[in-house]
Structure 1
């Protein structure tokens, strides 16, 4: 049975399944009707007569979706309908450019927990007294990777600290340019930290700083690469997020000095709100693209983050994301050649209120 989207005529069966499946926190017919009509939700059902449904909610402008509810009529249980709907919803979410699926489940719902764990979902948060009857819940998440055909021998290097995404992205791009495997050594942690020390300009609110486009460009130039910088403007990036006057002064000094060094080294710095088409042309020319993104557009966690833009087609941009989160049971394969819909991608490359954009273009 292939799932279909629910229509208004399904409301009686949907509410009946809801009443027979949950003791509380039920969806009303009015809510079901809203989700059937909304552009930001998909309500899938299966069976004739209708025996199960799954409801997915989407966040406009991000690559995050929420499996809001899934239910199977008691008379139809044991036929694998929940698993079928879950797999179907994930496939449809990927078609919409979604990378992350989240859901909430009662901690005492062992059958549902087993289903989600088999499907690759991991606990990301405990939810005390989350449900109407006071029951605790879990929030789960899965990094969707359906349908990707990863190019052979695509380099990947996972950052080993929370603040070395830029160096890790640069190491991957450098390795991809080394066609004969002799120009650059295999990426390792010493190189990662060396590049970070060379390229760091950004003060975070706590902990260590990150790397600017100019810092990464200087590190790449030092290693013999032909480098160009694309930035939306030359003002100090992320300064508005630093409140301490001393830190603002240091950040400004380092940022200005890095730009001066880039100018002295003949590294072109072009100011523009660059487009996806420009990045596509750079890729077609054989250039490697290091790209600053906002992770808010991925999963609502707002942070500046460097990735390697590997490829683009008519629907997706494909990135290697060096931030492999072992606490979420992620593996390198989850962050390799990750498809991002072009709509999300265009928003993702603009950071903060000023919509700051930065990219570093590399060639041998």
Structure 2
């Protein structure tokens, strides 16, 4: 099997020969303005896949963390856009007390972008350290406190996150999806187990993620929350955008509920890659088939143009049904081993990195999965 090799990152390889990117640039210069280089042509010119210049990953929690830990191994220009509607735990307490964005998912994204060297892994552990004991500090994460401290010192959310990223030597940038305080709301059937057919509204990300009922739709309050301008700019400038994996209704879909961000995702020229979860998530997607996850995305953003859907080969019981459903939307299916060996809940960052590299490079196609 072809294995991905790291692309050249510099114009001069050090041996007098031009790098992959230098050869591509020379081809573009010779071909004139507007010339496009296909992945196949790129491979012919350089002898290896050419990876995208800019990738934006959207989500939250552990799913986004796994994706970022993979992407930082593949691309240089990486931006994480993170859900900020959490109302539980340390994040909820800090949000309520200081009137700031909930820092927890932002912290996890920053930790995932730390390098594999001693510096990166030490800081990742420090950032994720959670205090024990029985006092007021119990349950607080040191990273949450550091982020809030910088927000108070600088008076600006984005600048504070950039400073944390510089301290960690993070392999990418972390941005909130909105700078406004928002609450996640869901329309649920059977939230009260004694009234299985009754519809009700559930408010709060924690409450949405743990509802015993069936979620039919989600929304943000306020519905007109402005997007983080830097996040919109990153989406519009990206080559690829990655949605998922993660809690579908409380981490992934919320990005589609911010009007300016949804518009940018619909209008961007970037290719959109959707990464499916390894299975159903209790309280959010009970009974969902893989194609139901994609349908939920499109229900909340009908104009979204999905290029590729990546799923773990063991998590798709009926590939024919999934491929057929995706085909109606012009999307291709990629099946690969991306789960941690023996796990049905965790994505493996190294396996994900390999899959991302091959999808982005477009040289070894997964599309004919049969």
Shorter-chain TM-score tier: under 0.3
TM-score (norm: length of structure 1): 0.28
TM-score (norm: length of structure 2): 0.27
Q: Which has the larger radius of gyration?
A: 1
